[in-house]
Chains A and B, each alone.
Chain A
């Protein structure tokens, strides 16, 4: 079990969260009509060994989406912040 530091709720169990994935994948602009960037955004993800910025949703807590920096090897969490506060 991982424990995540929610900026709103404090240190909470992983079981209160759901996981989305890579937080660095950028959604194309709404008016983008070329399918390529959309295919890239929807279907392709890197699978890095080491540091990974990722979205977690505090779904059984404050319902905020977090950007968590997690080491995929050690599961060490180096930072977590509210997605809405992070400049894209």
Chain B
């Protein structure tokens, strides 16, 4: 045994014992433990295998910065890869396995990758793609092997069985981090009456104080702070919650882990909550993270951060080793060393500095430890865990300058100084400044008036300063409880640091592989290789070597990599600069971010007022944008093909009714509507009389066709515009934009009334009889109500409008009724129509009918076509300007050889596919062709497959044959080019 649980101490509850499973082995833990502290107490050295080389890796840290101890948590659909054992609270039934190892952690066959390590160096991927292997198929051969061998945990493909929620929070002050600075800020502001949100990622408030000696004076202070904060109604405290991102306008994203600390989520509970926080201001009390040092085999299990070893000792009562070598370039590790010695470990402290601090050295000496000034660890010794350290005297650059000797030990605890946790600051696009005395990047003062970093996050010198700093940022008034400064070990880290992060032999090279980024297996040698290959920018270096790009975002690796880069470039660290951190601060469950916006809640669902009738009457429903629409109404045994052909024939032979409620409907009101319509449509509107309807086409500002639809003049100053279903929102926004920004001279108001009106089209030879029967008092004769006229009508007291117009080419009417009466009206028309054999028809047959007529729709108005392309250039008025009237004549748009709308009669007994390409009957198809197929159907009226398409010089090609080629499937067909008006081109039927 090497690591062990101490008989007393720690912030753990020894009255209960938890049973955990790691890699199939039973592990004991106490409430208050993390998985990592339990594993350490059980002396489990190897927790994972590394990403590329499958080197054994153990626990390094005790917090979010942990790069190595990542486990696969749970199994099945709830499995979670890459979970940091160091932040995972122990719970009864916890089941985790080591990652990236086969067949087992302790004996991993894939560690053969280690011997290929020269092959996996910096830029490996780039070189494989770009270098001598390019195009040789070598990559293809190796990829499977490499992808299997290199990697981390495994996801599961089954749906997440847990639920998540989004919540919104507003506050006067958001305090991020409940260490001493954050607690002081929250209390100072809270006692002033501000609405405070205090957020802590740990399950317990206290931050760094939790790892200071338990039972000391800081405990008393912590208890008092907690009590006073809890007593305030205006302070909301969220623990187990991580503020993962800071955004513009003082918006913060946080995830609260409600039930990750139990085996299964209780019924009817959300596992996590995604908080969107809008704060008036925020205090960033996020603390600092200790840095690693680069030396040979510094990734061996047993090499840990000094702060981690200290945390396990004080918070979890786990002594990480019997014999511990501490290596430091600053004062802060002395506290750890003294406490470890007091706890019974044999401690040797190698201080990289020539002159160690006198007082601290004496205290370590008194505790039984040994200080070696101007010494460092050249390399860790041992195969699967640390068994010793090669220690040598060093010069001021960290280079060996004397004989090395072996010291037996089971833990090497290192401290390379501390880095303020400034990730959230970085999210706000602010560049940190370099602190020359603390040798760290830190947020600059006052760069963000609403985000104040405090305490260790700005390298505050002492615990007292940290608390005062927090209180000042929280409020000016609040009264702080005193904290006697008997914590001499908590506050030395910013002083007297020696900027050495790499320990080398006499030859200037590390003694064995020395890692900077352990999670991505990036070694000092990779940084050096990148430098030799000419990389000078820190951002390029990061991407080329992948340093800092693993799930820990380089929380430990950043500074050693920058320091080496600066050395190689012969410049300073601030000159090299640091990379930009991005959200999330720690890995965040996508399930929480998506919350309820998943599955069919991903977008709103729109149902027409008539939807229930369609469902009750057996319609197959299809999704059209956000809308659910009836696709077809199958009789028994019918498939789509049979049903739509029958429905289309039925309309032409008898009568049918289709739901057109989804059309965009805009109420246009005001004295200047005619002028407004004149400007927005290509055709003229000044002559439209009350009671009449006119079809209109509108262009975009660039001259491309935007939309079409009919507008009825309901009264002197009142018009009712319809748009296509797809463009309803776009047209309304355009109208609002023009009226509010450019045409403020026009007295016109536009309002969407799409949802206020149900609409149904009754079409077919019997249409007049059906409506005459349903609306008894209305004269629907051709004389009284010709095409493009409307009439008001009443049925069962419901005020409706009957518009006479046709999309199908048959005698047809559109009936509009207030949405809440839509269902009743539809049912009444169906009932009255029974005598005339009325049947409902759906989207598919509606498409057939309009294709037979050559009417354009979405597939033709695809954002690329001009008026001339769709054969409607005659509609454009030459007497007035309109939106797009100048730019539609740009040379490329006015080019007469552009593909124009044609009909295509397909030979054979299968239809053409939309998107097929049109070619001459002979010649190469190795080009873009002459045009394309836009809409396609079987035409029951013509008894053949037809299509609409666009064909170069199409109007001149009527009667010719073309090849229709679907490069994705059915191959080549032949079609005869025709007019797009296949059926009843003179429009006799609709005018009857």
Determine the distance from Cα of A55 to Cα of B741 in the docked complex, in whole angstroms: 9
A75 touches B248 (CB 8 A): yes
Main secondary structure of the interface of B (DSSP, over half): helix
Give Cα distance in the complex from A3 to B247, angstroms.
Answer: 10
Query: Least Cβ distance of A85 to chain B in Å?
Result: 10
Chain A residues near B889 (CB-CB < 8 A)? 35
- Does the CB pair B740–A84 fall under 8 Å? yes
Contact A75 B741 (CB under 8 A): no
A residues 19-50 touching B (CB-CB < 8 Å): 20, 23, 27, 30-35, 38-39, 41-43
B744 close to A (CB within 8 Å): yes
Q: Which 7 A-B pairs have the closest CB atoms?
A: A3-B249, A75-B248, A65-B740, A1-B251, A84-B740, A83-B741, A30-B881
Chain A interface main SS type: mixed
Q: In the complex the two chains form, is B887's CB within 8 Å of A42's CB? A: yes
Assembly CA distance A38 to B736 (angstroms)? 20
- B247–A83 contact, CB under 8 A? no
Number of contact residues on B: which range applies?
Answer: 20 to 34
Given contacts A27-B742, A35-B890, A84-B744, contact A3 B737 (CB under 8 A): no
Contact of B733 among A34, A42, A57 (CB under 8 A): A57
Contacts of A9 in B (CB 8 A): none
Q: A31-B881, A59-B733, A65-B741 are in contact. Are A2 and B886 (CB under 8 A)?
A: no
Contact call B740/A33, Cβ cutoff below 8 A: no
**Contacts A33-B886, A35-B889 given: A57-B736 contact, CB under 8 Å?**
yes
B629 within 8 A of partner (CB): no
B679: interface (CB < 8 Å): yes
Q: Does B672 contact A (CB under 8 A)?
A: no
A57 touches B251 (CB 8 A): no
Question: Using a CB-CB cutoff of 8 Å, which residues 237-253 of chain B contact chain A?
Answer: 247-251
Q: Is B702 an interface residue (CB 8 A)?
A: yes
Please tell me if B804 contacts chain A, counting CB pairs below 8 Å.
Answer: no
Find chain B residues with CB under 8 A from A38 CB.
701, 886-887
Determine if B737 and A57 form an interchain contact, defined as CB atoms under 8 angstroms apart.
yes
User: Please, which residues of chain A bring their CB within 8 A of the CB of B737?
Assistant: 20, 55, 57, 65
Q: Which residue of B lies closest to A84 (CB)?
A: B740
What CA separation (Å) do A30 and B881 show in the bound complex? 6
Q: Do the beta carbons of A42 and B740 come within 8 Å of each other?
A: no
Collect the chain B residues with CB atoms within 8 Å of residue A20's CB. 737
**Which A residues are in CB contact (< 8 Å) with B881?**
30-33
A50 to chain B, nearest CB (A): 14
Name B890's closest neighbour in chain A (CB-CB).
Answer: A35
Closest residue of A by beta carbon distance from B743? A30
Given A23, A27, A33, A65, which contacts B736 in the complex, CB threshold below 8 Å? A65
In the assembled complex, B542 has its CB within 8 A of some CB on chain A = no
Q: Is A18 an interface residue (CB 8 A)?
A: yes
Residues of the A chain whose Cβ atoms lie less than 8 Å from the Cβ of B555: none
**For residue A63, which residues in chain B have a CB less than 8 angstroms away from its CB?**
736
Taking Cβ atoms with an 8 Å cutoff, the residues of A that contact B are 1-3, 13-14, 18, 20, 23, 27, 30-35, 38-39, 41-43, 55, 57, 59, 63-65, 74-75, 77, 82-84, 88
Are the C-beta atoms of B740 and A30 separated by less than 8 Å? no
| Residue B278, interface by CB 8 Å | yes
Q: Is the CB of B251 within 8 A of A3?
A: yes
- Docked complex Cα distance between A20 and B615 (Å): 40
Taking A2-B249, A20-B737, A38-B886 as known contacts, 17 extra A-B pairs with beta carbons closer than 8 A to each other, sorted by chain A number, are: A1-B249, A3-B278, A13-B251, A23-B741, A30-B881, A33-B881, A34-B886, A35-B886, A35-B887, A35-B890, A41-B701, A42-B701, A59-B733, A65-B740, A74-B429, A84-B744, A88-B744
Q: Can you spell out 18 A-B residue pairs with CB atoms less than 8 angstroms apart?
A: A1-B247, A1-B248, A1-B249, A1-B251, A3-B248, A3-B251, A3-B278, A18-B733, A20-B737, A30-B679, A32-B881, A33-B886, A35-B886, A42-B701, A65-B741, A75-B248, A75-B249, A77-B249
Inter-chain CA distance A33–B889, complex, in Å, is 11
A87 to chain B, nearest CB (A): 10
Question: Closest CB-CB distance, A58 to chain B, in whole Å?
Answer: 10
Distance in angstroms between the alpha carbons of A33 and B744 in the assembled complex: 21
B863-889, CB under 8 A of A: which get 1 and which 0? 000000000000000000100001101
CA distance A88 to B556 in the complex (A): 55
Contacting residue for A42 out of B248, B702, B742, CB 8 A: B702
**Cα distance, A14 to B887, chains bound together (Å):** 33
CA distance A18 to B734 in the complex (A): 12
Residues in B with CB closer than 8 Å to A18 are 733
Residues of B within 8 A of A30 (CB): 679, 881
Roughly how many angstroms separate A13 CA and B881 CA in the complex, as a whole number? 38
Shortest Cβ distance from residue B918 to the other chain A in the assembled complex, whole angstroms? 30
CB of A2 within 8 A of CB of B702, answer: no
Per-residue A-contact encoding for B729-748, CB less than 8 Å = 1, 0 else: 10001001100111010000
| C-alpha spacing A57/B741, complex, angstroms | 11
Q: Which residue of A lies closest to B891 (CB)?
A: A35
* Closest A residue to B248 using CB positions: A75
Q: Give the residue among B249, B679, B744 with the most A Cβ atoms within 10 A.
A: B249
Q: Across the interface, which residues of A come within 8 angstroms of B729, CB to CB? A: 59
A11 to chain B, nearest CB (A): 8
Note all chain B residues with C-beta closer than 8 A to A41.
701
- Chain B residue nearest to A30 (CB atoms) is B881
CB-contact partner of B248 in A2, A39, A82, under 8 A? A2
A residues near B702, Cβ cutoff 8 Å? 42-43
With the chains together, A65 CA to B742 CA distance in Å? Answer: 11
Chain A residues, CB < 8 A from B887: 35, 38-39, 42
Q: Specify the chain A residue showing the minimal Cβ separation from B736.
A: A63
- Residues in A whose Cβ lies below 8 Å from that of B701: 38, 41-42
Q: Can you name the residue of chain A whose Cβ is closest to the Cβ of B744? A: A84
Contact of B886 among A3, A32, A82 (CB under 8 A): A32
- Bound-state CA distance A53–B732 (Å) is 23
Distance in Å: Cβ of B882 to nearest Cβ of chain A: 8
**Nearest opposing residue in chain B for A87, CB measure:** B744
Query: Shortest beta-carbon distance, A72 to chain B, in Å?
Result: 12
CB distance from B565 to the nearest CB of A (A): 27
CB distance from B251 to the nearest CB of A (A): 4
- A84 to B247: give the CA distance in the assembly, Å: 30
Chain B residue nearest to A66 (CB atoms) is B740
Give chain A residues whose Cβ lies under 8 Å from the Cβ of B679.
30
Q: CA separation between A77 and B729, bound complex, in Å? A: 27
Within the complex, the shortest CB–CB distance from A54 to chain B, in Å, comes to: 12
Residues in chain A near residue B742, CB distance under 8 A: 27
A17 → B minimal CB distance (Å): 11
- A31-B881, A35-B886 known; A84-B733 Cβ under 8 A: no
* Contact code string B187-223 (vs A, CB < 8 Å = 1, else 0): 0000000000000000000000000000000000000
Chain A residue numbers with a CB within 8 Å of B429 are 74
Hey, what's the 0/1 contact readout for B547-585 against A, CB within 8 Å counting as 1?
Answer: 000000000000000000000000000000000000000
Q: How far is the CB of A31 from chain B (nearest CB, A)?
A: 6
Among residues 711 to 733 in chain B, which have CB atoms less than 8 Å away from a CB atom of chain A?
729, 733
Q: Which residue of A lies closest to B245 (CB)?
A: A1
A64 near B740 with CB under 8 A, answer yes
CB distance from A30 to the nearest CB of B (A): 5
> How far, in Å, is B656 (CB) from chain A's closest CB?
36
Which residues of the partner chain A approach B890 to less than 8 Å between Cβ atoms?
A: 35, 39
Q: Which residue of A lies closest to B882 (CB)?
A: A30
A76 to B887, CA, bound (A): 36
Q: Which residues of A contact B736 (CB under 8 A)?
A: 57, 63, 65
A84 touches B278 (CB 8 A): no
